[in-house]
Amino acid sequence: MEQPNQQSEGFTMVDVMVTLCIAGILWGLAAPAVNAELAGMRVRAASNTIAGDLAHVRSIAMRDGVGAVLLLESAADCVPRYRGRRAGHLYRVGTRGQAVERMRRVDLRGTGGRVCAEMNGDDTLTFTSRGMPRGFTNRTIWVWQGATTDSLTLSAVGRVLRVR
């Protein structure tokens, strides 16, 4: 008597295990690149936020004819990379003489991650009523997460230069 030809339906356990092993190896190779890209996107978003707020503070100073400030708040988990600098992930924006509590507060970590900003000089960046930065010129703000860094340099006339 002849046996009917039996066809296998579905996958064997070996097929499934080989497929999962290959997928795991590919994910292990791709995960660091994905994390680096996400860090880069967070850093770019944070530096865009700071650049926009610098332009906003400058326009407030010129429009209202009063000094305007951007105040970087130090944070314990944002360690400055160089001595003499302040680092944090929060800053405040407002007019000179305004109570610090009433200034608009911005959190650079709103997008997630551990983004930090660092500024040379003191922690307050002041614009005069003419839109010029007061005091220290060529002020630089570095925004980083891990090894990914952007920098914003403020010129003596209040323009922002971006370096990636």
**Can you tell me which residue has the tokens 């997008």?**
111
Task: Kindly report, residue by residue over 112-134, the tens digit of the pLDDT.
Answer: 789 999 998 888 888 998 988 88
Give the residue among 156, 149, 69, 62 at the shortest CA–CA distance from 104: 69
CB 47 within 8 A of CB 35: no
Q: Which of 82-91, 132-141, 142-151 has the highest mean pLDDT?
A: 142-151
How many Å apart are CA 60 and CA 92, to the nearest integer?
14
Q: Where are the domains of the chain?
A: 13-163
CATH topology of domain 13-163: minor pseudopilin epsh fold (3.55.40)
Share of the chain above pLDDT 70, in %: 93
What is the per-residue pLDDT for 72?
92
What is the model's pTM? 0.79
